[in-house]
Amino acid sequence: MPDWMSSPGGVLLVALAAVLLVVVVVLALVIWSVKRHGDPKLSVVSREPIDRLVTSLSGLTHGTCLSGNTVEVLENGHFFDVLLEAIAKAERSVHFETFLWKEGQLGAKLAAALAERARAGIVVRVLLDANGCKAMGEAACTELAAAGCKVVRYHDKRLRNIGVLNRRDHRKIVVLDGRTAFVGGHCIVDSWLGDAQDSEHFRDISVRVSGPVVTTVQSAFSENWVDETGEMFLGDDVFPVLKPTGNVAVHVARVKPERAAPAVKILHHLVLCLARERLWIQNPYFLPELEAIEAMKAAVKRGVDVRVMVPSAEASDMPIVQHAAHHNFERLLEGGVRIFEYRKTLLHQKVMTIDGLWCAIGSSNFDDRSFEINDEITLGINDAALAREFEAIFERDMAQCVELELGSWKQRGAWHKLKDRALYLFNEQL
């Protein structure tokens, strides 16, 4: 034993080091324990087609399936044409929630539309993720405030938020008069304008929804609004009684119970086990856990056509995420999963289709940050016509893709492989 360790100071240092080690071990066990309770086991077996299991899907994801809705698919910049027109027609309330807003042409148009409604005497509530919207610009902020819009920043950098700064509001929600809702992936950035015609204009999909399920989407908005402001809004202006507008059944996954598996994670993982013919996924940030990978490989073994479409690292706005995702591509390809890289521009839609019967769309990426940390929303839609529409979109997007082949993928360069492995170490936070 070195002499310094037997001195009073040395004994104290050793004791402090031992205490520190115990603290580190205890904290690691706490983190492991919390995460363990949020991991659903992918061992579900069912002979029923997915369209007959919607009540189970909604129940397991802490929701209720509601029939009588209409759902309209809106692609690329056309989404904003429809959205801005709908905002201009709002008569009672406008609720707007987004993760990403950057100064530009689109932001100016949206701020003007929201401000006009507020000046017309309509209550306009705007909920912005403090981190994602930090570059929205002073002009938009000033216009919204001057018009009387209620603008709230979610988890801004204050001492009271120190424990939740890593938890972001990744939802993209608009609710008008409590009767019409917009949900999807579109962000308030000029890159989302246009028609995905080049690398400067992104590819994305959102939906416009009407019918009884809008009440549930409104509830999702209220969750973080009340969390930040304490204000509870009520009455027919925001929660009217909604009659059926169509024949589409929709359920909403968005709940994150304390120390239990979040609804969006359960939904995205559960349907992997239920596909019988086709399982097609479009997602910009695809980092499934190993158990989900095994579930996809098991689906292939039972005869399911499993396809995944992601942007290439060159087209992505987050190439580090794509390289982390690459770490598991070899496992997926070996298991028979077909992977397509969209190379024209950023493919940002978060869409799943199962067997041409059921589909899902929302804000959630297929990664641990969306499943376990961020606040997200996903609509599960039980409608064959809409599922086929999303499948047709997938097939159309394949024209801009290159399909990865196992042999050539294994031969990618050493530097590429090193980046993949190194960045995957941070997959739960990307």
Please report the domains of the chain, with CATH numbers, ordered by start residue.
41-60+251-424 (3.30.870.10), 68-249 (3.30.870.10)
Active site residues: 170, 172, 177, 348, 350, 355
| Cβ partners under 8 Å of residue 37, min gap 6 | 259, 260, 261
The string of DSSP letters for 56-120 reads HHHHHTT---EEEEEEEEEETTHHHHHHHHHHHT--SEEEEEES-B-SSHHHHHHHHHHHHHHHT
pLDDT over 90, % of the chain: 75
Q: Can you give the pTM of this predicted structure?
A: 0.90
Which residue has 């690292």 as its token pair? 313
Q: Give the per-residue pLDDT at 356.
A: 97
Contacts with 147 (C-beta within 8 Å, 6 or more apart), sequence order: 114, 115, 116, 118, 119, 124
Chain-centroid distance of CA 408 in Å reads: 31
Tabulate helix, strand, coil % of the chain (nearest 5).
40, 20, 40
Q: Rg for the chain (alpha carbons), in Å? A: 23
DSSP 28-50: HHHHHHHHHTT---------S-G
Give the other-Cβ count within 10 Å of 337's Cβ: 23
C-alpha dist (Å) from residue 296 to 342, 391, 419? 20, 18, 25
**Beta strands in 242-329, from DSSP E residues, in sequence order:** 248-253, 278-282, 305-311
Strand partners, 360: 352, 380
E strands, 228-325, are: 248-253, 278-282, 305-311
402 bridge partner residues: 341
How far apart CA 194 and CA 419 sit, in angstroms, is 33
Which strand (E) or helix (H) includes residue 318? none
pLDDT score, position 412: 82
**Quick check: 153 and 168 in contact, CB under 8 A?**
no
Those residues with Cβ within 8 angstroms of residue 235's Cβ, 6 or more apart along the chain or in another chain: none
> Rounded CA gap, 32 and 329, in Å?
26
Q: Are 144 and 111 in contact (CB under 8 A)?
A: yes
The three-point CA angle 215-218-224 to 5° equals 145
- Do residues 266 and 61 make contact, with C-beta atoms less than 8 angstroms apart? yes
Low-confidence stretches of the chain (pLDDT < 50) are: none
What is the spatial distance between Cα 143 and Cα 118, in angstroms, rounded to a whole number? 11
pLDDT in tens, 200-219: 999 999 999 999 999 999 99
